[in-house]
Amino acid sequence: MKSIIVTGASSGIGKAAVINLIKSGYQVFGLARRYEQLIKLYSELPTDIKNANHYYFPIECDIAKPDDFEDIFNKIILKAREKTIFGIVNNAGYVEPGAIEDITLEDLRSQFETNFFGLIGFTKKVLPLMLKNNEGRIVNVSSISGLISLPLIGAYSATKFALEAISDALRIELLNTNIRVININPGLIETNIITASLPKIDCLIKKSSRFSAAYRKYLYKIPQGLPASSVANVIVEAISSTNPKYRYIVGSAKVKIGIKMRRYIPDKIFFSQIAKRIS
């Protein structure tokens, strides 16, 4: 039984990944700030899994607090099978809403602390073990917004673009090992990542932002997306495959075609069309 760490495990994609990985026979360490939500996950595990406490270990962790990483990592290793970690699913993250003129530098820094620096910091804790064993899977849950930057969530897009860049660098550095770096790029998924930002969106609108109408149109009424389990299934595939892809795009056929076509659309045309929608 191989051991996997999943960050942001209390809801959405992370929660679905924990359940699917356990179903696939992995020992999973679920990390998140909301420990009470991690505990509730026990009740959602399949009833045919005996001794669930041998498969799943909830651990309270704020990925934006690197000073705690050493203690958390030591707790994991004490309970991990064969005292090692085969994979890490870097899923913790959130959306900082707002046009660039509306967000503060403090908010931008906080976005990077969670979505980027925390992710890299915890990966660096796990990487030496993987190098020692010369095997492992580093699965980074990125976004379509890491491939195409979108307005009104520019801070979020910036963290995902940075994640794409550093994933490529790490992938090349590990190319002659048996450690694989995989990026998952979901499109619209049914999670609470946007709804959790609604109080901040309300504040932006109250400040009479010139994008208030666009916030209401594009951030209040989010179209229905794919279930979180669709991403979790891909995560299990990436972890389990002996030859995983470098990138998995998870989304509708329309989203996948859009990603492929973006490279052929001149910047001037692409930017002007998007700008019309938010003006």
What residues act catalytically?
A: 156
Question: Is 77 exposed, middle or buried, given 0-12, 13-18 or 19+ CB atoms closer than 10 A?
Answer: middle
How wide is the angle at C-alpha 92 spanned by C-alphas 89 and 97, nearest 5°?
A: 140
- Phi then psi dihedrals of residue 119, to 5 deg: -60, -50
139 vs 12, 17, 79, 196, 260, CA distance in Å?
Answer: 16, 11, 21, 24, 22
CA dist 204 and 68 (Å) reads 33
Contact by Cβ (8 Å): 92, 86: no
Cβ neighbours around 61 below 10 Å, total: 28
Six token digits for residue 84: 């090692």
Terminal CA-to-CA distance of the chain, rounded, Å?
53
Q: Which amino acid is at 180?
A: R
Q: Which amino acid is at 175?
A: L
Contact by Cβ (8 Å): 49, 79: no
DSSP letter for 98, please.
B
Helix (H, G, I), strand (E, B) or coil at 153: strand
